[in-house]
Structure 1
Amino acid sequence: MSTTRAERLVNLVICLLATRQYLPAERIRGLVAGYGDAPSDEAFSRMFERDKAELRDLGVPLETGRNSIIDPSDGYRIARRDYELSDIELEPDEAAAVALAARLWDSPQLTGAASGALRKLRAAGVDVEDGSGAVQPKVRTNEPSFAPLLAAVNERKAVRFPYRRPGSTEPAVRSVEPWGVVSWRGRWYVVGHDRDRNAARCFRLSRVVGEVRAVGLAGAVVRPDGVNLLDYVTETGPDPVPVSVWVAEGRAHGVRRKGSSRGQRTIGGRDGEVFELELAHLESSADWLAGHGPDVLVLEPDTLRKNVVNRWLAAIGGKR
């Protein structure tokens, strides 16, 4: 099914779920995005008949009826009582899988389409159900790169985007053949083949700092068989970054165990030692290092040092 037709079907379902009335075909034509592009009445009729058949094949309970005996033609609606599912009991792993899948509905694009459809219905005088309804878009996917990367995955197109690595102040342009977009621990990642490094890599969407551009022909990207994207993100993770920290004498033994000593150094009148560590997740590492207070000072990289300082400032209400 084409993306355009899928969007039109979603709009049609939202429209027919949101009304208590039977809507005639001509009114649906004016309310549902996509039908207005039909070049003629006959073309609209064929399009609408195909869509009705598609919804019924999918198990959507499409009702036909009239609001009163004086109505000249039949109308359509979806009865909420028949559309909504009864209570379902899921095992913990099943519930986790459903929750993850539902997050793909949490895009600003879908939220805008659903809200716009309901506004159009109310403006046209259609009696719309109040409350949350059966379709509940919830915005969680706020990364601007999410939609173009997901589109590239679906179209199997390569992409180019500016990407800022942990510890780096300047972004570098990456050329990637995307295999999929996955979520792990509240963050979104794109996994694919990095053309510049000729190797599989994962990239965190929050570090994509500019426009995602599709390059090449559709269908050019081939995802290898047997690749589990989520396993790749959790097992591989981002590349480790060298970090240099000063640790006060006799303090922060957990930091000491993770690093290699680079010699003694006195800072602010306190004796201590400089350690070099390899850290992959700098954001969570900033929380860990900031928790040691003045016993640990980040020397390099500058980005991590600023993140630690910002956490200290936030802890004291932003005052120096």
Structure 2
Amino acid sequence: MSSARAERLVNLVLCLLSTRQFLTADRIRATVPGYDAASDESFFRMFERDKAELRDLGIPLETGRRSAFDTVDGYRIARQDYELGEVALAGDEAAAVALAARLWDSPELAGAARGALVKLRAAGVEVDETAGLAVEPKVRAAEPAFGPLLAAVQAGQVVSFEHRPNPNTPARRRTVEPWGVVSWRGRWYLVGHDRDRDDVRCFRLSRISEPVSPRGPAGAVHRPDGVDLMDLVRRSAGPPPVIGVARVWVASGRALGLRRLGRVAGPREHAGRPGDVLELELRSPETVARWVGGHGPDVVVLDPPELVDAVRRGWLAAAKAHATTTSSSGTSSGPGGVPTQAGARVGGTVR
């Protein structure tokens, strides 16, 4: 921005703050330095740009008329809406603000953090940026789509991009009304209304391919009131809900990783071997079956039956795959080189 335009904007703000009545464009032209020398056409172009600039800066520019008899709109800035209320931060709160400002090191967010500090200092709050130097927090946004999507959220503009639901599926074109960009468990997600599926969706930014193309005018997208973006991401990308409890027997001194995931219900022997009964949260039988199946005869599923079936299917599939690779030898071997027969229990992991 040129110094002349910056000075003109400051003068315009001071002019509109100093009046309680709505000032017409002609009155503003005659009052604010920088407008008086312009032609009619140039003035209206300059004035329209300056009004848009003030609104982009968050300055509450009001439009109205002094009385019912006026035929031309006027403008003013309500002082109670413009002035910052009293801000009082304790020492630890000011240190937390300074630490939060240092958190963002991406170009898209560093400017906003710096602007927040400037506003606090203007309100008389001294924020010590050197506090907490022993802690160096960082939130990085390395995904190429981060910048364009954040800009679209701030502008309220529809975007279109290629998205791959998982690495094994082809990318699909999505048109989304963006509501926000959220960080959850070290990953970034876009939350918004997917026009193609007419539903709310979350998209992991690392699976969005460039370019991100804006569509339509700015200001067309508005996030619905009461929407919790973090909750939407948590329910979309988080683990499935707990559907029950799995009980498994674990041999003593074995399956330490599995033990950390569960709770020991008590000691128990199985087939003459000492061990413990372990209770695990059951969210997906197939997932828990993969955890259990890898431990062979050191872990035995007690219940529920669907987990028993899932482990059995996994073992039989592994035995079949192993048998295919060794069919030329004439002997079918199970996991660990143990010969198996059709219908026999594999590995001792199921009852």
Q: TM-score range by the shorter chain?
A: 0.3 to 0.5
Which of structures 1 and 2 has the bigger CA Rg? Answer: 2
Q: TM-score, normalization: structure 2?
A: 0.40
Q: TM-score, normalization: structure 1?
A: 0.43
